[in-house]
Amino acid sequence: MTGSGWIAVDAGRIPNHWLPVMLWNVIDKRTRPYRWREVNAIIEATEHDNSCADADHAQESDPQVTVDYEALEAVSVSEAIKWAESQPCPVTLYLYDLGAGFGDEEHFTSVEARSNDKNDN
């Protein structure tokens, strides 16, 4: 079911239970890409990416479940992926080196540049 937005998982007593896939995109901003034990992770609704040039477009989520911005510090890449998958709407996961991303507002600078792409067209 590639591209369907659903995956089959073994949900304990319910074999082949279908769950929605909420991690739709990963943007890896790490300068040390082989460091997986501790990273900073940020998620945003994938629909925020619609403003990027050449982006696939996601439908807008219900405002009551939309993740505008959430962050975790010092988590493993695996934990970040599991966290992103547990969200109530489709999200883009941004990975940063430990100590980067949200602490120095690097992420918001990137988002501002992303939003400006839309105005350049």
Of 4-13, 46-55, 56-65, 74-83, give the range with the top mean pLDDT: 74-83
* Section 78-82 average pLDDT: 96
pLDDT of residue 20: 74
Q: Is the pLDDT of residue 38 over 70?
A: yes
**Tokens describing residue 7:** 């995956």
pLDDT of residue 101: 87
Q: pTM for the whole thing?
A: 0.74
> How deeply is 41 buried, as exposed, middle or buried, from its count of CB atoms within 10 A (0-12, 13-18, 19+)?
buried
pLDDT of residue 78: 96
* Section 97-111 average pLDDT: 70
CA 47 to chain centre: 11
Q: Which has the higher per-residue pLDDT, 63 or 103?
A: 63
* Section 44-70 average pLDDT: 93
* Section 28-51 average pLDDT: 96
* Residue whose C-alpha is closest to residue 70's, from 92, 52, 44: 44
Q: Would you say 72 and 26 are in contact if contact means Cβ atoms under 8 Å apart?
A: no
Q: Is the pLDDT of residue 23 over 90?
A: yes
